[in-house]
Structure 1
Amino acid sequence: MVRNYARVVGGRRSHGHDNQQIEKAVEAVKSGRMSLRGACKEFGVPKSTVHDILKDKHPKKSGGQTVLSAKEEDQLAQGILKCAEWGIPLRAIDLRLVVREYLNRMGRKEKVFKDNFPGMEWVRGFLSRRRELTVRLGENIKRVRAAVTREVLEKYFNNLEVVLNGVPPENIVNYDETNFSDDPGKSRVIVKRGEKHPSVIKDTSKTSVSVMIAASASGELLPPYTVYKAVHLYPTWVEGGIEGSRFNRNISGWFDITTFEDWFTTTCVPFFKNRQGPKVMIGDNLSSHLSVEVIRKCEEMGIDFVMLPPNSTHLCQPLDVAFFRPLKIAWRKCLDQWKRKNRGVLPKSEFPRLLKSAFESMGSSLSPNICAGFRATGIFPFDKSRVISKVPSLNPKDNSDAASDAWSNAFLEMLASSRAETPEGRKSRGKKLNVEAGKSVSAEIKNESVCDDVVDISSEKNLSVDEVLASHVNNEVDFEIPGSLTENSFVLLKFGTNKRDRLFVGKVIEVCSNKKIRVQCLRKKNTAKETYFRFPDVADECIVGKSQIVRQLAPPRDLRRGRFVFSSLSDVNDVD
């Protein structure tokens, strides 16, 4: 139980002398300008204190003495700061365990601690003495983000410095995709004391709407671009929004190559069209944001397209660093106000108006937040030290103490392994088990229960795709690779991966040469009633060689609305 200390009435009070005055008195005596008695009288400090300092006796502080010496507490504080720098901050219990382990290794037995284990009172006292330490709530980041090194950032900023040379801030644009959910989050309410789970009647859902937001380093915001998860777009879904904003829709509700190209053409091109001088557009390296058409248009308009390093948006993305958080806070406030007056989930017809209200509620802080993001990420004004200083260094500082130096190197090695991107020896998922529903399985029988209805190319026999299909081939289908193919014919293709070869169905679009053909791949769909193939919304075209053709397929049966069934694939189960 924590004790509450109370000063005894009439007890001796500490004078609390100023350390600067003591240092002046010591300096005056050392220089010979004043005597010990005269210096203490002149600066108003105790004679015994100055005398002990001159004799190098290191006088004790007033009150109780600390268990660890000043040097030991300094080393402990440095270790705590290093742990926090590497993303592995200590908790109070961890700090107490570290101190106990240290005392046990040193062979010391401290009577004030039970079994050398400090209490919470010691932790509070230690934190009060070390003003550079404090207790805060930690935020979780993925290991791949923590694995970003200084070398990667150095290379990125060296290239970026060349690109940004002579570019005005109004011509530097950063873009990023974010989502606005239908849940305003929790709020504090007044209820009866002792109520553990207060409930608030409010209709929410897990749905969200994806919006592409872009802004320049001068603080100018480009019109947002919204993508709904829908097949069709209706007039009420685009009314009442921000001036110049645009809307689109697709099956997934996220940006793909088609919507990204449309956003660049309708939003970025008009913005850059009348801008003079060099232009730069900075964004993440998502595959859905990489388009040959966009890069070609950038080259025509003189726009440098810059990609951020992988897994570094929390450090290098201006919108992520300083803009999205206040925007999401404003969004949740506007959404909460709407849900207090209305029932049900947020309809798409209300989304444009609500998004506009969120931007307007930010008021005068909108532009400063954008500029703060570019400044914090070192883009404008250009300052790479703002980002690189946030990443820990593997080079330990020089220490005069050999023991401290050895401890620092060992500590850094441990931290580096903890911060690594992926642990070594991670096992793959392997094959699925053919176990009846409701029955348990043990480790002894898992190898015997491997599902045998999947054609696994990476088996122990190392069979090729042709050899596997040859064992399942239907005699009515010609398995030989044809010598010539015509347009609009269908073929079974194989594509090699690290684990196994994958099989796809493709339609021949063009015969390029005797060894190359252009095909458009289909996707397999499984439903409760039937299994069929269809062309994806985004065309998946590629050029393949004759060696990738497993066999030519018989013409399919067209069910309806572009859904095909191949009777010649009845002997193959693992087509993607």
Structure 2
Amino acid sequence: MGIPNTPDLKQMLEDESFSDLETERNMIREEARNNIQEFDMARTKTDRKVGSHSSEQMQAALDLIEKGKSIREAAKLKKLSFTTLYRYYKKIKNNPEQANIRLVPNYEINKVFTDAQEQTLIAYLKESAYLFYGLSNIDCRKLAYETALINKIKVPESWTKNQMTGIDWLKGFRARHRDVSLRIPESCSLARATGFNKFNVDLYFNNLERVLIRHPQFSNGTRIFNLDETATTTVQKPLKILAPKGIRCISKVTSGERGTLSTTCAITCASGIALPPVIVFPRKNFKNHMLHGTPPGTLGLATPSGWMNSELFPEVMRHFIQHSCSSKENPSLLLLGNHESHLSIEYLELAKTNGVTMLTLPPHSSHKTQPLDVGLFKPFKSIYNACMDSWMMRHPGQPVTIYDVGALVGEAYQKSMTPTSITNAFKKTGIQ
């Protein structure tokens, strides 16, 4: 018996049908390899879906089945899950003698805490946030676990292993209590947290009331002023930009690494007027060209550090007296902080001679009692930063210097110190 003729291996590889078969096999291998890689990767845990049907809806679907409809048809008509309806149908069919069978899921059976205990946890979380000692997600989970231990509540094994509740419990807890949300807190120093108290604030408003009684002309707000300083640097914080996805690092050019600091002193009136600012430049001697682009009447000063000090503040007081037209016949009230640069015998004599009554704010409370800090400096700095960012776009390859700060401050000052913003800031602090 002879051996049948078999095609040569080279001829098989060149055969078109064999090539198609090999291509298909390679595709199957590639797909299987991808499936194995996806299986090995850590799976993202999805939120568990819970039932949302009512007992009336389920009962209506069961009635349709009794009338001859199939389970799938009844589920489609009543917009229910086929498997859910099938499970309840089997439950009733296998227990014909049992009455009042529950037709909705009983999630309460796995609930760890009672409503009263959860309300106690919520009250504690709120009170901690009010006292500036708010709890994070991890702290909340640990607190709930300790609460369960103290009350001898049965908890899952994973809670005991991790010494805290699971992330699923926290998601459900937050979903049940919508009045609590995850927030990013602002940093507050211990001095501010303890300095802003009822005694200091009451003392400040009592002094303000005595001043208004002594000078009734202050009550309409046209002679009440607020003065404060803020830092303006030559380096901007880049704004958000549109960029392609998938790139981990997106950069934008800034003027420098740290920049040079100047001080801008703003003066506003409760009637909605902003007096010309004072800018302190980081130079030994002041030059007039540094004020290029500033609002008319701006006072320019210079110190090596760029900060305000007690030697320069008398010049600021003369600037205020000139533009506020203060005198003994036309007195004014000036609200300012307790910074050491505001302590000078010369400026106190100037204020007394020109009818300026000064009322200092409570220590470490300017974030609540000073109009400039409450409602004006934040928009001013945001606009100043945007102006500097725009300047960098218009002058590619050039850094911002202190000689450009005046124009940037002038543009931001006029856009932020609007009458509406000023009057609202005074109202927010309880002065008007």
Q: TM-score, normalised by structure 1?
A: 0.54
User: In structure 2, what residue type is equivalent to 1:127?
Assistant: R
Matched residues in 2 for 1:163 and 1:313: separation?
A: 20
Tell me the residue number matched to 1:194. Answer: 246
The structure that is strand-richer by fraction is: 1
Other-structure match for 2:116: 71
Classify the secondary structure of the residue corresponding to 1:265: helix
Corresponding residue SS for 2:311: helix
1:360–1:301 CA distance, 2 compared to 1 (3 A): closer
2:298 to 220, 245, 251: 245
Aligned residues of 2:291 and 2:300 also touching (Cα < 8 A): yes
Partner of 2:237: 185
Q: In the superposition, relative to structure 1, how do residues 91 and 3 fare at CA in structure 2: closer, same or farther (>3 Å)?
A: same
Between the aligned partners of 1:162 and 1:202, the Cα distance in structure 2 is 50
Work out whether 1:129 is the aligned partner of 2:204.
Answer: no
SS of corresponding position for 1:242: coil
Classify 1:155/1:15 alpha carbon distance in 2 versus 1 (closer, same or farther; 3 Å): farther
Q: Secondary structure at the match of 1:114?
A: helix
Give 2:200's aligned residue: 152
The residue identity in structure 2 corresponding to 1:95 is: C
Counterpart code for 2:122 = A
Query: How far apart are residue 275 of structure 1 and its match?
Result: 9.2
**Offset, 1:266:** 2.2
Q: Does 1:169 align with 2:210?
A: no
**Counterpart-to-counterpart distance in 1, 2:424 and 2:157:** 50
Pick aligned residue for 2:148 from 103, 111, 119: 103
* Pairing 1:84–2:138 present: no
1:4 aligns with 2:41: no
Shift in alpha-carbon separation, 1:270–1:185, aligned structure 2, 3 A:
closer
**2:401 equivalent among 347, 358, 375:** 347
Between Structure 1 and Structure 2, how many residues are aligned? 332
Alignment of 1:245-264 (within 5 A): 245-264=298-317
Cα deviation for residue 88 of structure 1 reads: 0.9
1:376 is matched with 428
Alignment-derived partner of residue 566 in structure 1: none
Largest Rg, 1 or 2: 2
Q: CA deviation at 1:267?
A: 2.9
Does 1:291 pair with 2:332? Answer: no
Partners of 1:350 and 1:74 in 2: CA distance:
57
Q: For the residues of structure 1 that align with 2:259 and 2:55, how far apart are their CA atoms? A: 61
With over 3 angstroms needed to count, the CA separation of the structure-2 counterparts of 1:203 and 1:287, relative to structure 1, is closer
Distance 2:157 2:212 in 1: 61
Q: CA deviation at 1:95?
A: 0.4
Residue 349 (structure 1) shift: 2.7
Identify which of 9, 13, 18 aligns with 2:54.
Answer: 13
Cα distance, 1:299 vs structure 2: 2.0
Match of 1:273, SS state, is coil
Change (3 A) 1:369 1:296: same
Where do residues 421-436 of structure 1 align in structure 2 (5 Å cutoff)? none
- Does the 8 Å CA contact 2:112/2:153 hold for their aligned counterparts? no
Matched with 1:226 is 279
Aligned-pair CA distance for 1:180: 0.9
C-alpha contact 1:335 1:354 (8 A) present in aligned 2: yes
Secondary structure of 2:232's match?
strand
- Distance of 2:151 and 2:49 partners within structure 1: 35
**Cα distance in structure 2, aligned partners of 1:270 and 1:192:** 51
Q: Aligned pair in 2 of structure 1 residues 370, 62: CA closer, same or farther (>3 Å)?
A: farther
Report if aligned partners of 1:202, 1:340 keep a CA contact under 8 Å in 2: no
Give identity over the alignment, percent. 24
- Cα shift readout 1:523-557 (whole Å, capped 9, x = no counterpart): xxxxxxxxxxxxxxxxxxxxxxxxxxxxxxxxxxx
Q: CA deviation at 1:308?
A: 1.1
**Structure 1 residues 264, 152: CA separation in 2 closer, same or farther (over 3 Å shift)?**
same
User: Once the 2 structures are TM-superposed, how far is the Cα of residue 73 of structure 1 from its aligned partner?
Assistant: 1.3
Written as runs of structure 1 = structure 2, the 5 A alignment for 1:443-454 is none
The 10-residue stretch of structure 1 (340-349 or 138-147) with the greater mean CA deviation from structure 2 = 340-349
Contact 1:171 1:275 in 2 (8 A): no
CA distance in 2, matches of 1:14, 1:231: 82
Q: Distance in 2 between matches of 1:354 and 1:122?
A: 51
Letter in 2 for 1:344: Q
Measure, in 2, the Cα distance between the counterparts of 1:113 and 1:14: 33
Aligned Cα root-mean-square deviation (Å):
2.5
The letter for the 2-side match of 1:13 is: S
TM alignment of 1:308-319, pairs within 5 A:
308-319=361-372
Letter in 2 for 1:252: S
Give, as a single letter, the amino acid of the residue that structure 2 aligns with 1:372.
N
User: 1:323 aligned to 2:376?
Assistant: yes
Does the aligned pair in 2 maintain the 1:164–1:280 contact within 8 Å? no
CA contact (8 A) 2:328 2:355 kept: no
Equivalent AA in structure 2 for residue 64 of structure 1: Y
1:451-492 CA distance string (max 9 Å, x none): xxxxxxxxxxxxxxxxxxxxxxxxxxxxxxxxxxxxxxxxxx
Shift in Å, 1:236: 1.9
1:258 match: secondary structure = coil
Q: Which amino acid aligns with 1:170?
A: T
Question: Residue 154 of structure 1: SS of its match in structure 2?
Answer: helix
> How do 1:437-476 and structure 2 match up within 5 A?
none
Unaligned runs of 5+ in 2: 1-43, 58-103
For residues 211-242 of structure 1, the C-alpha deviation after alignment (integer angstroms, 9 at most, x for no partner) is: 11110111110100111111222232122210
Contact preservation (8 Å) 1:227, 1:250: yes
Counterpart among 376, 380, 390 of residue 337 in structure 1:
390
**2 CA distance for matches of 1:220 and 1:315?**
21
CA change 1:279–1:189 in 2 (3 A) is: closer
Cα distance in 1 for partners of 2:342, 2:387 equals: 30
**Aligned-partner Cα distance in 2 for 1:352–1:223:** 12
Moved more, 294-303 or 136-145: 294-303
Higher relative contact order (CA 8 A, sep 6+): 2
Letter in 1 for 2:192: R
2:159 alignment partner, SS class: coil
Q: 1:470-522, CA deviations, whole angstroms, 9 ceiling, x for partnerless residues?
A: xxxxxxxxxxxxxxxxxxxxxxxxxxxxxxxxxxxxxxxxxxxxxxxxxxxxx
Asked whether the 8 Å contact 1:257–1:288 carries over to 2, the reply is yes
**One-letter amino acid matched to 1:163:** V
From 356, 374, 393, the equivalent of 2:410 is 356
Conserved 8 A contact 2:283-2:304: yes
Give the C-alpha shift of residue 107 in structure 1. Answer: 1.7
Paired residues of 1:96 and 1:119 also in contact (CA < 8 A)? yes
2:93 alignment counterpart: none
Q: Which amino acid aligns with 1:241?
A: T
The CA deviation string for residues 128-174 of structure 1, in whole angstroms up to 9 with x for no partner, is 22232111111111111111222222222222221233313111111
Q: Which has the higher helix share?
A: 2
